[in-house]
Every structure is written in structure tokens, then in C-alpha cells.
Structure 1
């Protein structure tokens, strides 16, 4: 039941998102579109309540309950960003809005962008880990909570990977000379750099 509900929530998330944006930009009904988008958080509430009831009714905690906690954490932390990203593309495509802002490519500006991205992912991992810990306490140490602990290890690994990625852009930022070389190579066209190296 829990796994089926997770899949249903994911499908419903995208259906509500596309429906809300279509109402806002295609049907020119911004208020109704906003009302549909505001229904998105209800999906996480429903999943949380159903998962808690399932455990309360004596279900043994397994990977599906852990996945539900992880799904809720990541949707809470990253869902709003997804909505904003797609909203900007809809506004540009169908309402004459400005082009979506692209992330910076070079220097500390890119490093700052990577840290903001890492912060959102780490927040998602923290929420998921907190929900998993709540489930561990709810079940009690006498129960089999190995699968929940395993999910905590997974989200900690994801958080660590994001720290490494953001840190690499800080320690080894992409330099301006790399951008200049890319620009020159782009002006030459494909294959010209290779011909120069071969002397032809």
C-alpha cells in the first residue's frame, strides 16, 4: 500500500504541477492555477499520515516506509524549486516572460550556486533523516529498524556527495581563461582545432 501511494503521489505531483501551470498560462486563469499548485503539499501530508497509520497498525517497518520518509523529505526541500523552475519556463514560452536565468559557469559565482544547490539537497537529506529517526523512535528499538537505519546511511551519503561537489567548485573554480578558450574554440567551429594540431 505504501509503495503504491508513493508512486501515486509522484504522478499526482506532476499532474497537479502541469495542470496548475496550464491553467495559469494557457487558460489565463491564474487564481485557479495557483489554487491547484497549492494542493501540492497535501500529497506529502497524505503520505505521511498513511505511513504513520500503517506502522501504528502493526506493519513491520521495511524499505517502503523508509522510502516514504525519503520521498517526503526530498519533495519538501526540492519540490518548490522544481515548481519555480518549470513556472519560469512556462512564463517564457507562453506568456512572453524573460528567459529563465541560467546558472553561472565560472569562478566563485558558480561555487556559490553549487553551495546553494548543495544546501537544498542537504536540507532534503536532513528532513528525511529526521523523519526516519522519528519512525525508529516510534517503532522502538525492540522492533526491526534495520531498513530505516539503512536509509539514514543512504541520505547521509547523498549529503556528503553534495558537500564534496560544492567544495570542489570552491577549491578548484573554473577559470576565466577556460571560458576564453571555449569561446575561441567555439568561433573556430568544430574540427578546426584538430586540423591546427595536425598541421593541416
Structure 2
């Protein structure tokens, strides 16, 4: 595994470590400012990953799937970051500190609309990553060194299409609550 792949794994692990540290400081140790400092480190991880990928490519490395995944990771983190933190915060408060309300399970049209919001975010993160990847392709200006970047875009296009189909099906066949007998 190359440096960029390790950086992605490290950044993903550190993302959840700083979030858990932030929630622990906020709710367990009653230190909201310290918790906010930890939570504010999440975009720093994106910048570090961006710098590592950029430096690697600037030094002549051929773009690999890891470089493409770095762009994907950064775009997902930017678009979904706030909602992922809110999702984790709600569960941490309820399941760990026994505060707050139980996370809501969504059904019917409420679930379909919520899933549609997620699909729109998915589409935005795809567009952002496509912009980053296209920018790298233009910057490197060597098709033999950027095949992996365009390959990830092709695969992700299929994934976005599948997600669109799933989104539509939730409006046609809304998710039903499981019956208890």
C-alpha cells in the first residue's frame, strides 16, 4: 500500500477518533470548548490528505486509485461531514451518555424524503470529486499517469445511478415499519 492509501486510512481513523474525543470532552468531561476544538480538527485532516496527495503527484507519481479515493474522501467529508457529525452526536448522547432522545427510525414518505436529501448530497459530493479529479487530470496533463482518476469517475457514475434508482424506489414502495407479532 502506498503513502496516499495509508494517509486515507489514517485520516478516516483519525476523523472518528477526533469526533469521539470531541463528544467525550463535551458530554463526559463537560468541556464543550475542548470538544469543539477536537471537532474542528476534522477539516484539518482533509487538508493534510490533500497536501499529501498533491505533493506525491507533484513529485511525478502516477495517479493511482488511492489518489482518486483521496479526492472522493475529501468531497464526501466536505459534503457529508456536518451531517455525519450530527448523526454520531445524536447517537453518542443517547446511547453513551443516556441523554437526549432516541434516534428516530424513518418510514414511509419521511424516509423517502430523507433518503432523497442524502442522494442530493451524494450527487454534490460526486460533482465536487469530479471537479477535483478533472483538475488533477488537467494539471498532470498526461493520460498515462491519470487513468486511475478517470476510472474512479466511471465507477462512481454507476454508483450514483444505482443510488438514484434506490431513491426512486423509496417513493414508489415506501419503507414500512417492521410489524411486531
Q: Contact conserved, 2:68 with 2:152, CA < 8 A, in 1?
A: yes
Tell me, in whole angstroms, the C-alpha distance in 1 between the residues paired with 2:101 and 2:174.
29
TM-score by length of 1: 0.82
Q: Provide the residue aligned with 2:149 in structure 1.
A: 148
Structure with bigger gyration radius:
1
In structure 1, the residue corresponding to 2:82 is in which secondary structure?
Answer: helix
Q: Provide the residue aligned with 1:24 in structure 2.
A: 26
Measured against aligned partners, the alpha-carbon deviations of 1:156-198 in whole angstroms (never above 9, x if no partner) come to: 1121111111111223335xxx66xx64xx2xx3xxxxxxxxx
Q: 5+ residue gaps in structure 2?
A: none
For the aligned residue pairs, the C-alpha RMSD in angstroms reads: 1.8
Q: CA deviation at 1:59?
A: 1.1
Q: Provide the residue aligned with 2:101 in structure 1.
A: 98
Tell me, in whole angstroms, the C-alpha distance in 1 between the residues paired with 2:145 and 2:79.
28
Tell me, in whole angstroms, the C-alpha distance in 2 between the residues paired with 1:16 and 1:9.
10
Tell me, in whole angstroms, the C-alpha distance in 1 between the residues paired with 2:163 and 2:155.
13
TM-score by length of 2: 0.90
Q: Contact conserved, 2:137 with 2:143, CA < 8 A, in 1?
A: no
Q: How many residues align?
A: 178
In structure 1, the residue corresponding to 2:62 is in which secondary structure?
Answer: coil
Q: CA deviation at 1:77?
A: 1.8
In structure 1, the residue corresponding to 2:63 is in which secondary structure?
Answer: coil
Tell me, in whole angstroms, the C-alpha distance in 1 between the residues paired with 2:143 and 2:150.
14
Q: Contact conserved, 1:3 with 1:64, CA < 8 A, in 2?
A: yes
Moved more, 22-31 or 111-120: 111-120
- Please tell me whether residue 12 in structure 1 is matched to residue 14 in structure 2: yes
Measured against aligned partners, the alpha-carbon deviations of 1:71-100 in whole angstroms (never above 9, x if no partner) come to: 111222222222111111222241621222
Tell me, in whole angstroms, the C-alpha distance in 2 between the residues paired with 1:116 and 1:32.
31
